[in-house]
Structure formats: structure tokens, C-alpha cells
């Protein structure tokens, strides 16, 4: 009887906590908003994609692709995923729909994969039909492999020409990011079939992989297209300090680890240089590190005062950052959701005009940010 009372009390407290969160009002300099819990109980959710029928896909780093339909997280994950490995920071990572998904049902998944030669970042293309994947084909694999379980990156984005951008981290082996014969530590641009995109900047470089678009990137965890210019924006983790926002431009070397605004986790310097000829400066950087993850420009109508602002999730600092952008420069920075206490893994602009967030935990959630009525 005592056990039953305790169970009822615990359930009541959980319900009260959820109701309290649903009614909690958050404030920014420009708007008051609240969070709606769309789904919960996800194991380290990593990425979110919106389907044309109003449902959503969510990746769990543990190796599952889940469906949210009519406000409910379906019990059964999508069948037919490619073979992958869950290790350290690796697992099932990004999910991205083909620009013509409504007609071809094609999507792309990035994930960690292991063989006898070690682990790496892969991208697979597949078709989604009736809750399962078919015609699964690996279209990109970063080489060489290594035995570390860090810095897989894995964020993806399409440009207006239909080319796919794939971020690959330095795998925790920093010098690889300055070697254009090594796929680690850069952004690769490919066609939806996996071929090097026409006009890639390193196609004439001796020994370089002709899928390379940029080099010198440490570990990109956010990538999005600018709603007006179409340029691909990204952010990446620094070590202790030096998280960066960059505009991804052909042939650019973003400097890691030759230049950085961060220091090593040991507290020792990585380099004495923060700038060098031939290497790009970040558009914006954080010191100390916030561990950015996920990013989206706000383009909806629910918060007209946020139109054009850039939103970035933070893992380490457990917040959402709003950045005002004017003329390609950051003019204002505001921290949101600092009282939520959640690691923000992904940020997406929803087709409903709301911002959608994923929280990184063994019991992760999907939130919608909506105005206070």
C-alpha cells in the first residue's frame, strides 16, 4: 500500500512538472514565449526534419529514426536504417530531406560507421515509404578511418543548386584539418547521387579529395542556409573557447588548428596565433566556449520581431542564443532559456512558424517555442 502511494505521488509530481513547464513563460528583449512539449523520452535526439504531411522525423544518436505524428511519438522506429555504430559522440546523426522529397520520398542520413580499419562519418541516401527505408545507398564516406570516437560532425544542408554539404570533424586529431588529402576537418560538397559537385574548389589540387569545399574546420555541429542570400552558414566547436560562426565559402581555409581563439582542454595553448594570411576569420566567436549545436534563421510569422535572427543551441552552457544579423555581421546577442537547464542539441525553423528544439539527454525532448497569447 505504501509503495502504491509513493508511485501515485511520483506520477503526480511528474505530471505537475510537465504542466508547469507547459505554462512557464520565458522572456526575451523582444518577445514573451512559452515552450510546448511535443515529444519526450528520446535517447539523445540529434536532428529533426519536417515531412510534408505534417509529421516529423527525429534521429536518436543511439541508432533509431523516430516519427512524430499528430502530436504523438510513435512507438516503433523506422525500419531499414543503414549499418552504423554507436560510440562516444558517434551514432545516428543528421536527417535531411531531399528538396523534392514530396515527389521522390528521398532523404539523407549521416552517421558513424565502423570497420576493421576504424570509424568514420558516412552519408546514406534512402527512400521513406510506409514507415521503413528502402533503396539505401552509401553515397559518401570520409577517409581515412581512425579509432577515435570524437568529432564526427555530420551536419548537412542543401544549397539552392541542389548540392549537398556534409561536415566532417577532425576526429579529435587536429592536424588532419589542414591536410586536403585527408577527408577529416572540412566541408564536402556532393550531388544527391554522391558525386563531387561541379566546380568544387580543390578538384585540381594534387592528391586532394575533389569533394572538398572547405578545410580547417574542427567540428561543425550547426549548418543552415541563409534565407535571403542562400549562402551556407555554419558553427563549430572550439576547444576551451573559440567556438565559431562562419559563412561556408568555396576553397576557404578556416584555420584550425593553425589559428584559434581557444586553448587546449589541458589549459595549454594550441597556437599563439589567432589570425594568419590565407585563413578566414570567424564571423563571430565565443570565449569561453558555449558548445554550440544546431542553428536556424527565424523566418516565420509567429515572432515578427525575430525575422532574420539566427538562433543557436548550446550544449555546455545549456541555453539558446539569439543573434541579430545586419550586413552579414552580428550586431546583437541575447541568451534565452538559461533557466531551462537543458542541453540544446538542435534548432529548427518549423513550417508552422514556431522554433523547434531538441534537448540532448537520455530522456530528451522535442519542444516548440510559441508566443504567449
Q: Could you identify the residue written with the cell 587546449?
A: 264
Examine the residue annotation and report whether 151 is marked as an active-site residue of this protein: yes
DSSP strand pairing (232-236 vs 243-248): antiparallel
Question: Within 10 Å of residue 208's Cβ, how many Cβ atoms?
Answer: 18
Looking at 44, 98, 113, 151, which residue is catalytic? 151
Please provide residue 22's backbone torsions phi and psi, each rounded to the nearest 5 degrees: -65, -30
Do 354 and 370 meet the contact criterion of CB atoms below 8 Å apart?
yes
Do 338 and 27 meet the contact criterion of CB atoms below 8 Å apart?
no
- Residue by residue, DSSP assigns 224-279 as EE-TTT-PEEEEE--SBS-EEEEEE-TT-B--TTTS-S-B-TTSS-S-S-S--TTS
Question: Residue 341: CB partners within 8 Å, gap ≥ 6?
Answer: 318
Torsion, Cα of 271, 272, 278, 280 (10° steps): 80
Size of the chain in residues: 373
Do 261 and 283 meet the contact criterion of CB atoms below 8 Å apart?
no
- Residue by residue, DSSP assigns 139-199 as EEE-SS-BS--S-----EEE-TTSPEEEEE--TT-GGGGG-TTS-SSEEEEE-TTSSBPTT
DSSP strand pairing (32-42 vs 25-27): antiparallel
The residues annotated with a catalytic role in the active site are 151
Amino acid at each position: 500500500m505504501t509503495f502504491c502511494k509513493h508511485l501515485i505521488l511520483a506520477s503526480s509530481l511528474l505530471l505537475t512538472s510537465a504542466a508547469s513547464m507547459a505554462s512557464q513563460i520565458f522572456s526575451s528583449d523582444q518577445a514573451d514565449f512559452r515552450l510546448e512539449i511535443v515529444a519526450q523520452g528520446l535517447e539523445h535526439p540529434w536532428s529533426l526534419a519536417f515531412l510534408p504531411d505534417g509529421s516529423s522525423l527525429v534521429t536518436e544518436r543511439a541508432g533509431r529514426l523516430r516519427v512524430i505524428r499528430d502530436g504523438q511519438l510513435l512507438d516503433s522506429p523506422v525500419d531499414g536504417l543503414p549499418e552504423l555504430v554507436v560510440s562516444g559522440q558517434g551514432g545516428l546523426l543528421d536527417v535531411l530531406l531531399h528538396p523534392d522529397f514530396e515527389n521522390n520520398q528521398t532523404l539523407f542520413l549521416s552517421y558513424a560507421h565502423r570497420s576493421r580499419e576504424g570509424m568514420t562519418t558516412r552519408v546514406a541516401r534512402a527512400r521513406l515509404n510506409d514507415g521503413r527505408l528502402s533503396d539505401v545507398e552509401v553515397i559518401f564516406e570520409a577517409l581515412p578511418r581512425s579509432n577515435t570516437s570524437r568529432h564526427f560532425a555530420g551536419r548537412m544542408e542543401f544549397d539552392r543548386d541542389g548540392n549537398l554539404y556534409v561536415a566532417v570533424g577532425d576526429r579529435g586529431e587536429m592536424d588532419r584539418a589542414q591536410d586536403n588529402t585527408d577527408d577529416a576537418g572540412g566541408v564536402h560538397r556532393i550531388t544527391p547521387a554522391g558525386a563531387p559537385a561541379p566546380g568544387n574548389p580543390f578538384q585540381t589540387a594534387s592528391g586532394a579529395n575533389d569533394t572538398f569545399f572547405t578545410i580547417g574546420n574542427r567540428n561543425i555541429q550547426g549548418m543552415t542556409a541563409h534565407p535571403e542570400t542562400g549562402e551556407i552558414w555554419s558553427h563549430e566547436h572550439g576547444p576551451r573557447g573559440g567556438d565559431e560562426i562562419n559563412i561556408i565559402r568555396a576553397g576557404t581555409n578556416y584555420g584550425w588548428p593553425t589559428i584559434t581563439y581557444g586553448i587546449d582542454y589541458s589549459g595549454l595553448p594550441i597556437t599563439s596565433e589567432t589570425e594568419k594570411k590565407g585563413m578566414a576569420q570567424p564571423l563571430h566567436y565565443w570565449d569561453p566556449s558555449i558548445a554550440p549545436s544546431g542553428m536556424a534563421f527565424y523566418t516565420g510569422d509567429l515572432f515578427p520581431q525575430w525575422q532574420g535572427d539566427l538562433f543557436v543551441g548550446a550544449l555546455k552552457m545549456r541555453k539558446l542564443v539569439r543573434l541579430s544579423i545586419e550586413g552579414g555581421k552580428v550586431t546583437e546577442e541575447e541568451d534565452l532559456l538559461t533557466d531551462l537547464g537543458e542541453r540544446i542539441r538542435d534548432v529548427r525553423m518549423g513550417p508552422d512558424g514556431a522554433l523547434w528544439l531538441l534537448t540532448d539527454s537520455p530522456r530528451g525532448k522535442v519542444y516548440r517555442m510559441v508566443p504567449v497569447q
